[in-house]
Amino acid sequence: MTKRWMLLSRAVPPVCLDATFARRIAVIAFALVSWGSAAKADDAQDYVAQVSKTFEHLFIGRHFAPQGGACGAVPGRCELLLQKLSSSDFSFVSPLERSTRPDMPMLRRIQMRCRKVRTFADEFDHVPANPTEGFAVYLMPVKGQKIYVLRAEDYVSEIRKTDILSDGLFIAVAYPGCHVMKAVPITKSHNSPYEPSTPKPELRWLSEPIVLDGKAFILSMYALNGMSPNPPHYLLQLMSLAGFAGSGGEAYTFAAK
């Protein structure tokens, strides 16, 4: 060791963290991570509780019956589905991320990997449109496949910015293979001017991913004639996200007054 190094080592004493201080830093870091996880869990529970409340409001007291779609393909299939819905033998899925803008970190990662979902832009009657709100990313808890469901609402015309051309879309993506299923539309029910006692708009329609029998579905409920003076007819649709690879899924439709 040279004399110069000896002089430097004496002039600059080594920096050591007190063991107690280091433990406190570790405890604080753990607490912050735990608090973040707990906050996310609480948010997920609140979300599921809210959509469950809306489902009960729309479903209970109405007698839904098979209307069409795949109900005639397998005898008794739709009756079994209705029974499971009546007994709440299914689960809603809370989103991993929600935002008023389509720049969520999870969505960006999926779009970087899957070119087919790099944008939510779509066309309705050959008019280009872009969504403006209600962005969300869900991960469906089903076995054997990793399915992300992307959500966007209120598609506005690029030509006339005030024209809403669609209430919204779900786009289901099998990851990491990037197989994209045909988009599932969102249909909203708006308050009727003829019904002053009509509940809040958020209680008149529902479109959410669910897991039923271990399989992924999009559940949609809405008033079919909510803007007429007559009592609304309600439609319930279940779109299966099975049979991916571009083949789409089965659609089950039920109706009630």
% the chain with pLDDT above 90 = 25
pLDDT digits (tens, 9 = 90+) for 24-33: 565 555 544 4
Query: Which of residues 7 and 183 earns the better pLDDT score?
Result: 183
Q: Is 9 left (phi over 0), alpha (psi -120 to 50) or beta?
A: alpha
pLDDT digits (tens, 9 = 90+) for 79-134: 999 999 999 999 999 999 999 888 889 888 888 888 777 667 776 767 888 888 89
> What is this structure's pTM?
0.75
Compute the average pLDDT of residues 40-61. 87
Residue 166: strand pairing partners: 155
> Can you give the pLDDT at residue 204?
76
* Cβ partners under 8 Å of residue 92, min gap 6: 48, 51, 52, 55, 208, 209, 210
Compute the average pLDDT of residues 183-200. 60
Residue 236 pLDDT greater than 90, yes or no: yes
Residue 247 pLDDT greater than 50, yes or no: no
pLDDT interval class at 22 (50, 70, 90): low
